[in-house]
Amino acid sequence: MIKSVFSKAGILGMASLAALYMLPVADSAVSGINLFTSNAQAAEEEGRRPPPSTRQAGTLTQQVFSRITEVMELRDMEDIAGARAVLDEIRALYDRGRLNDFETYTMWQFYASLDQTEENYPGALSYYRRMLEVDNLSPDQIEQTWFYIGSFHFVLEEYREAIDAFETYNEIAIEPNDAVYLRIASAYYSIEEYANALPAIRKNMELVRAKGEMVPQSTYGLFRAVYLTLEDYQNAYQVLREMVVLFNDPADWGLLAQLAGQLERFAEQAQLYYVAETGGYLDSENEYIQLASQLYNNENPVGCAQMIKKGMENGLIEEDEDNLSFIAQCYQLAREDSLALPYLERAAAMSDDGELYARLGRVYMTLDDMDKAADAFEAAFDKGGLGRPDQVYLTQARAYMELNRYDEALQAARNAGRDERSAGTARTWVTVLTNEKARYDTLQNQRRDLAEFIRPVR
**pLDDT for res 32:** 33
Q: Is residue 63 part of a domain?
A: no
Q: Is residue 214 part of a domain?
A: no
**pLDDT for res 454:** 62
Q: How far apart are CA 356 and CA 246, in angstroms?
A: 47
| Spatial contact of 390 and 422, defined as CB atoms under 8 Å apart | yes
| Spatial contact of 186 and 222, defined as CB atoms under 8 Å apart | yes
SS3 88: helix
**pLDDT for res 378:** 92
Tens-digit pLDDT profile for residues 127-180: 999 999 999 888 999 999 999 999 999 999 999 999 999 999 999 999 999 999
Average pLDDT over residues 7-22: 39
Q: Which residues contact 236 (CB under 8 A, 6 or more apart)?
A: 224, 227, 228, 259
| Spatial contact of 273 and 257, defined as CB atoms under 8 Å apart | yes
Residue in 14, 117, 17 with CA at minimum distance from that of residue 75: 117
Exposure letters 156-165 (e unless 16+ CB within 10 A, then b): bebbebbbbb
Tens-digit pLDDT profile for residues 231-285: 999 999 999 999 999 999 888 988 898 899 889 888 888 888 888 877 777 777 8
Q: Is residue 376 part of a domain?
A: yes
**pLDDT for res 146:** 95
Give me the domain span that covers residue 434: 372-452
| Spatial contact of 291 and 270, defined as CB atoms under 8 Å apart | yes
The total domain count for the chain is 1
Which among 77-91, 221-235, 416-430 has the top mean pLDDT? 221-235
Alpha-carbon Rg for the chain in angstroms: 41
Give the CA distances from residue 368 to residues 108, 122, 154, 343, 410, in Å, rounded to whole numbers and listed in that order: 93, 82, 74, 18, 20
pLDDT band at 457 (very low <50, low <70, confident <90, very high): low
| Spatial contact of 222 and 185, defined as CB atoms under 8 Å apart | yes
**pLDDT for res 282:** 77
**pLDDT for res 17:** 35
Please measure the distance between the N-terminal and C-terminal CA atoms of the chain and give it in whole angstroms: 85
Helices (H), 250-388: 250-262, 266-278, 285-297, 301-313, 321-333, 337-350, 355-366, 370-383
Q: How far apart are CA 351 and CA 357, in angstroms?
A: 9
More confident residue, 458 or 183: 183
Position 27 pLDDT exceeds 90: no
Q: How far apart are CA 145 and CA 311, in angstroms?
A: 56
Average pLDDT over residues 9-20: 38
Q: Is residue 386 part of a domain?
A: yes
Average pLDDT over residues 341-353: 92
**pLDDT for res 153:** 95
Tens-digit pLDDT profile for residues 391-425: 999 999 999 999 999 999 999 999 999 989 999 99
**pLDDT for res 345:** 93
Dihedral Cα 256, 261, 263, 269, nearest 10 deg: 60
* pTM confidence score: 0.65
Residue 7, φ and ψ in degrees, nearest 5:
-140, 155
**pLDDT for res 41:** 34
Q: Which residues contact 376 (CB under 8 A, 6 or more apart)?
A: 348, 357, 358, 360, 361, 364
| Spatial contact of 208 and 178, defined as CB atoms under 8 Å apart | yes
**pLDDT for res 456:** 61
Handedness of CA 277, 279, 280, 283 (dihedral sign): negative
Residue in 326, 328, 377, 321 with CA at minimum distance from that of residue 354: 377
Average pLDDT over residues 14-31: 40
Q: Is residue 406 part of a domain?
A: yes
Q: Is residue 446 part of a domain?
A: yes
pLDDT band at 193 (very low <50, low <70, confident <90, very high): very high
**pLDDT for res 168:** 95
Q: Is residue 415 part of a domain?
A: yes
Q: Is residue 35 part of a domain?
A: no
